[in-house]
Chains A and B, each alone.
Chain A
């Protein structure tokens, strides 16, 4: 367990956390650029889609290790952040599902890849709400 400083204050942990996340985001955009710019065999396209999973797995392992190093209040804050983010994500998906029935949604306007920024925003909202509660 970490002592006297939060997980996010630990410089080494933050470098690992941000580093693995950055590699994943980079891999995602490289994969997206390749898929949008080049004509490839179907199996190659699927491989390109799956490549970002590797850096994401590293990011996930860093995240899990970080959570295990957190103390009880930090874990509680993370839990409350997710408790806010999850219903908001659910609401977004349900609303999009209904909207899809109501009007024609174009894939370039709304698709799965447009959802990820909202998930991050929802998590940050949850984190801010939870942190304020215990400050």
Chain B
């Protein structure tokens, strides 16, 4: 699953640690999401969406067939 987290975070001039603190996650989690190695849970995705004031689908984008790509695919 692709995401725009890094871009949105940079727009706010936040470090990964800043963002992690705002959503109650670890810096490692934010880093893994940004690098596409981990797909967040729905509650965390909603928290991120609320924080940036955008719908989830503007931040996270599934592949054409709807399956995640890379990261923690099943």
Q: Which residues of A contact B (CB under 8 A)?
A: 1-6, 70-74, 76, 133-135
Q: Complex: how many Å from CA A2 to CA B26?
A: 7
Contact of A72 among B18, B27, B37, B41 (CB under 8 A): B41
Size category of the B interface is 10 to 19
Which B residues have a C-beta under 8 Å from some C-beta of A? 17-18, 20-21, 24-29, 32, 37-38, 40-41, 44, 72
Interface of A: prevailing SS? loop
A73-B32, A134-B38 known; A4+B21 contact, CB < 8 A: yes
- Cα–Cα, bound, A81→B27 (Å): 20
Query: Once the chains bind, are A73 and B21 in contact (CB under 8 Å)?
Result: no
Query: Are A6 and B72 neighbours in the complex by a CB distance under 8 Å?
Result: no
Contact B20 A72 (CB under 8 A): no
**Cβ-closest chain B residue relative to A77:** B28
Cα–Cα distance between A2 and B24 once the two chains are bound (Å): 6
Sample 7 A-B pairs with CB under 8 A, ordered by A number. Answer: A3-B20, A4-B17, A4-B18, A4-B25, A71-B26, A73-B29, A76-B38
Q: With A and B bound together, what is the CA distance between A1 and B20 in angstroms?
A: 11
Question: A134 → chain B, closest Cβ, in Å?
Answer: 4
**Could you tell me if B20 and A4 are in contact, using CB atoms closer than 8 angstroms?**
yes
A72 — nearest CB in chain B belongs to which residue?
A: B41
Shortest CB distance B53–A (Å): 20
Nearest chain A CB to B23 CB, angstrom units: 8
Contacts of B44 in A (CB 8 A): 72
A76 proximity list for chain B (CB < 8 A): 38, 72
Taking a contact as CB atoms under 8 Å apart, the answer to whether A3 and B24 are in contact is yes
**Residue in B closest to A76 when the chains form the complex, CB atoms:** B72
Contact A134 B28 (CB under 8 A): yes
How far, in whole Å, are A2 and B21 apart by their CA atoms in the complex? Answer: 8
> Given the interface contacts A73-B32, A134-B32, does A3 sit within 8 Å of B26 by beta carbon?
yes
